[in-house]
Amino acid sequence: MSNSVENLYGARFGGGMRSWRWYLSRVMRLFLRWFRLCLRRGRRKRPNRVRDLWNYGTVLMKSLYYNVLTNSDTVLDCVFEPIYWLVDNMTRWFGVVFVSLVIALTSSIVIIVYLCVLPIIFSTYPVHWILWHLCYGHWNLLMLVYHYYKAITTCPGFPPQEKSDIPTVTICKKCIVPKPARTHHCSICNRCILKMDHHCPWLNNCVGHFNHRYFFSFCLFMTMGCIYCSISAKDMFLDAYNAIESSYQTPPPSFTREERMLHKSLVYLWVLTSSVSVALGSLTLWHAVLITRAETSVERHINHRERTRLKLRGKMFRNPYHHGMLNNWRRFFGVEKRSDWLTRVLLPSAHLPHEDGLTWDCPPYRNNTVVI
């Protein structure tokens, strides 16, 4: 009996004092097992991460092809999205550079006209031609400067951000606000523009409802001024060009420094004004066609697509904003009476457009046409 009690006591107490090695080995085994599990998990992370990225990329690629609403336009938009972002940001930052370039080039032409062209006109032309050049040249310059300043500083017009009773046709996907008719989102300004035509980098501003007339008038008077300078300085340009060509002869003619500067300035004036006349004249003519049709640059593409869609169904598309060619020009320039052609078109005028840009008056026989 006593031996069994001693064995039990030794197993509980004496054995506990001798089992520290057992506990230590036990702890070491647990630590080694935990360490091996960590190594196994670390090895499995890499292939799992790569596999997850591969599966995610596969889902993204398949989403372009297995979406029933996807077409080639959506794929191209996704591919060119980085280019669109770059163009939008570059245009936004370089707008000031383009405006400064317009001012610098225009100022250089005006300086050359005053210093080089007008003295020749005063010394060689008859009085009535001198008066013509003075009157027309300064009127054209006044109209050009005024409309360019107004086109830059006038707000194109924005739809209301708060809830209102104004009729809308859709919701802007980027602004998440209702859009009235003829309103479109400008990715450069990052806002919706009333009757948006396009974003002009040469104005560093959007061309919209309230400055569309200023933009077109600036293009028109700039084209007219360049054509006027190109025609008026044609003979001077030919003489200056021949003089520059003769400088390569042997022996070269003896021109003074002022005469050489005069020749180069006349060549620069004629080349620049002739180039701008062709380029800007084509743009002005294109916008004149759009105004005649009561369309903007954005609506031109939308109406063309809608016209093609309805033609396949045997129907005909009608522009709901077309009031007739002459009436379209009257509404564009804000002409309400005959005298307005003088006071509002041929002279500087800051009058507001015919509509407010939120609602539009449609002809009675086109009220049933769907607004695009």
Amino acid letter, 129: W
Give Cα 208 distance to the centre of its chain: 12
Amino acid letter, 236: M
Q: What b-and-e string marks burial along 105-126, b requiring 16 or more CB atoms within 10 Å of the CB?
A: ebeebbebbeebbbebbeeeee
Looking up tokens 């009333």 gives 194
What token pair was written down for 5?
A: 């009690």
Measured from the Cβ of residue 67, the count of other Cβ atoms closer than 10 Å reads: 10
How far is residue 159's CA from residue 177's CA, in Å, rounded to a whole number? 9
Residue length of the chain: 372
Question: Angle 212-290-274 (CA atoms, 0-180°, nearest 5)?
Answer: 80
How far is residue 230's CA from residue 237's CA, in Å, rounded to a whole number? 9
Helix (H) or strand (E) holding 193: strand 191-193
159 neighbors 191 (Cβ within 8 angstroms): no
Active-site residue numbers? Answer: 200
What are the φ/ψ torsions at residue 186 (nearest 5 degrees)?
A: -100, 120
What token pair was written down for 244?
A: 């520059």
Give the residue among 189, 186, 215, 183 at the shortest CA–CA distance from 202.
Answer: 215
